[in-house]
């Protein structure tokens, strides 16, 4: 019985491939890939001479049966994608499931993933998140999909999008989520990697101002109903009152009223309690 290896490949920078991934790709009997031309370029750079077999979403079901047969005959096989980790918005899950059902050993060779790379650049506190891959193409279908997503309680959402559809998708996100905070990343790990941070409408304007925005793939991170980063701490009510007192040279009573009017983070009672804390502190 052979072994099936799920091997992550670079999403942009060739230097991100692991030593273990290279060793596996050199040692297996054949490599499954989405596009033999794309993968040939990668293997040539790495000086790997191995048999490539096309394995993509259009032949995944039929090809999986053939591969399982070869694995049963003792061949070791690696699965790669055009970029990143297989099975994540890319072919592979059918083959892995078939291998599980046939008691074939499977090993994942971890490495680059656009989802995880983007999240590490977000600045958000990632306790949980939902990844949706590519959204529906048709505007009405995409809006319905986004409305359904907006109804759940997961705060951080991750999407993929193509350069040709990025503007329309951002407009839909802005409309459905009411101009949310977004992190938009383009050409991750590549030479001209771009990062946009801000509310959806601001990012749209920044994006359109770049005449080369229709180049490279995008990852969109949406922080639902947020206008600022999650890790920005609120000022304490005492600090807010002190700022108002110094800025306006007013009484504490006037400062409390101004705080209630201009900063809704705390109630009037909380500001009053804060004023007592300040009074006791400066005794």
Alpha helices in the chain (DSSP H): 19-27, 36-45, 60-72, 93-101, 114-120, 139-150, 166-177, 200-208, 237-248, 252-262, 268-281
Q: Is the pTM of this model over 0.85?
A: no
DSSP lists the bridge partners of residue 160 as 134, 219
Q: Residue length, the chain?
A: 283
Does 228 reside within a domain? no
What pLDDT, on the 0 to 100 scale, is given for residue 260?
87
The answer to whether the beta carbons of residues 249 and 255 sit under 8 Å apart is no
Identify the pLDDT of residue 274.
Answer: 87
Residue 155 lies in a domain: yes
Evaluate whether residue 88 is within a structural domain.
yes
Q: Does one domain contain both 105 and 124?
A: no
Do 79 and 180 fall into the same domain? no
What SS3 state is found at 160? strand
Q: Residue 231 domain-assigned?
A: no
Condensed to tens digits (0 to 9), the pLDDT of residues 137-164 reads 999 999 999 999 999 989 999 999 999 9
Euclidean distance between CA atoms 116 and 111, whole angstroms: 10
Whole domain around residue 247: which residue ranges? Answer: 237-281
**At 202, which CATH number?**
3.30.950.10
Examine the domain organization and report whether 46 and 87 are in the same domain: yes
Residue 124 gets which letter from DSSP?
S
Are residues 159 and 217 located together in one domain of the fold? yes
Residue ranges for the chain with pLDDT beneath 70: 225-234, 281-283
Q: Mark whether 17 and 39 lie in a shared domain.
A: yes
Half-sphere exposure of 150 (CA within 13 A, CB side): 18
- Angle between helices 268-281 and 252-262 in degrees, nearest 10: 140
Do 89 and 154 fall into the same domain? Answer: no
Same-domain status, 153 and 251: no
d(CA 31, CA 46): 14
* 245 in the same domain as 192: no
Instruction: Identify how many contiguous H helices and E strands the chain contains and give both numbers.
Output: 11, 10
Question: What CA–CA distance (Å, rounded) separates 119 from 10?
Answer: 17
pLDDT at 231: 39
* Inside any domain, residue 229: no
What's the pLDDT at 266? 86
What's the pLDDT at 26? 97
Contact predicate 106/6, CB 8 Å: yes
Strand-pair partners of 4: 77, 106
Query: According to the model, what pLDDT value does residue 281 have?
Result: 67
Counted domains in the chain: 3
DSSP E strands, 177-232: 181-186, 194-199, 218-223
Measured distance CA(209)–CA(146) in Å, rounded:
26
CATH number at residue 25: 3.40.1010.10
Tell me, yes or no, whether 43 and 144 share the same domain.
no
Quote helix, strand, coil % in the chain, to nearest 5: 45, 20, 40
Does residue 169 fall inside a structural domain? yes
Are 57 and 135 found together in one domain? no
**Of 112, 133, 163, which residue sits at a domain end?**
112
Residue 90 shares a structural domain with residue 127: no
Name the DSSP class of 61.
H
Per-residue pLDDT reduced to its tens digit, 205-216 = 899 888 889 999
Residue 46 within a domain:
yes
User: Count of CB atoms within 10 A of residue 235's CB?
Assistant: 14
Query: Do 95 and 146 sit in the same domain of this protein?
Result: no
Please report whether residue 230 resides in a domain.
Answer: no
236-246: b (≥16 Cβ within 10 Å) or e = ebbebbeebbe
Least Cα distance to 82 among 111, 40, 119 occurs for: 40
């Amino acid at each position: 019985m052979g072994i099936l290896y799920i091997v992550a490949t670079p999403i942009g920078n060739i230097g991100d491939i692991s030593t273990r991934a290279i060793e596996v790709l050199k040692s297996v009997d054949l490599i499954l890939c989405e596009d033999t031309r794309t993968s040939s370029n990668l293997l040539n750079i790495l000086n790997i001479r191995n048999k490539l077999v096309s394995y993509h979403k259009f032949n995944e079901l039929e090809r999986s049966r053939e591969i399982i047969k070869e694995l049963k005959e003792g061949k070791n096989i690696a699965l790669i994608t055009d970029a990143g980790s297989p099975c994540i918005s890319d072919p592979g899950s059918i083959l892995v499931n078939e291998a599980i059902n046939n008691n074939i050993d499977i090993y994942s060779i971890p490495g680059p993933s656009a989802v995880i790379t983007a999240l590490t650049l977000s600045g958000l506190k990632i306790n949980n998140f939902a990844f949706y891959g590519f959204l529906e193409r048709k505007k009405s279908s995409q809006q319905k999909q986004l409305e359904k997503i907006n109804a759940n309680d997961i705060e951080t959402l991750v999407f993929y999008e193509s350069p040709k559809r990025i503007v329309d998708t951002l407009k839909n996100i802005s409309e459905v989520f009411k101009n949310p905070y977004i992190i938009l990343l383009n050409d991750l790990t590549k030479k001209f990697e771009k990062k946009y941070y801000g509310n959806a409408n601001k990012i749209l304007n920044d994006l359109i101002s770049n005449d080369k925005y229709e180049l490279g793939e995008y990852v969109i991170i949406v922080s639902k109903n947020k206008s600022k980063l999650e890790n920005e701490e609120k000022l304490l009510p005492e600090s807010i009152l002190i700022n108002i007192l110094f800025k306006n040279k007013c009484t504490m009573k006037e400062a409390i009223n101004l705080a209630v009017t201009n900063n809704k983070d705390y109630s009037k009672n909380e500001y009053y309690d804060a004023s007592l804390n300040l009074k006791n502190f400066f005794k």
